[in-house]
Amino acid sequence: MDNRLSRVTMGTGPPYVASRPPDPKATPMNGSRIPGLVLPTVFLLALIVGVLWYWRHRGDE
């Protein structure tokens, strides 16, 4: 295989072999991610409840 395809030059400098980004590894979900999942869900639910409450009571005097 011709190795010239994997070489990259920046300006007039010498060519170097382009490195690949590291592959993401599958990690189990830990407890620190729970607030990031729960809080948006709670806020969305509160928004829906507020809109429904407003819709039902919009004609009240």
8-59 pLDDT, tens digit per residue, is: 555 666 666 667 776 667 677 777 877 788 889 999 999 999 999 999 998 8
Q: What is the pLDDT of residue 48?
A: 98
Distance of CA 44 to the CA centre of its chain: 18
Residue 27 lies in a domain: no
> Would strands 16-17 and 7-8 be described as parallel, antiparallel, or unpaired?
antiparallel
SS3 7: strand
7 has pLDDT over 60 = no
Looking at the structure of the chain, the number of domains it has is 1
Which strand (E) or helix (H) includes residue 37? helix 34-57
In terms of residue numbers, what domain contains 56? 34-61
Q: What is the pLDDT of residue 13?
A: 61
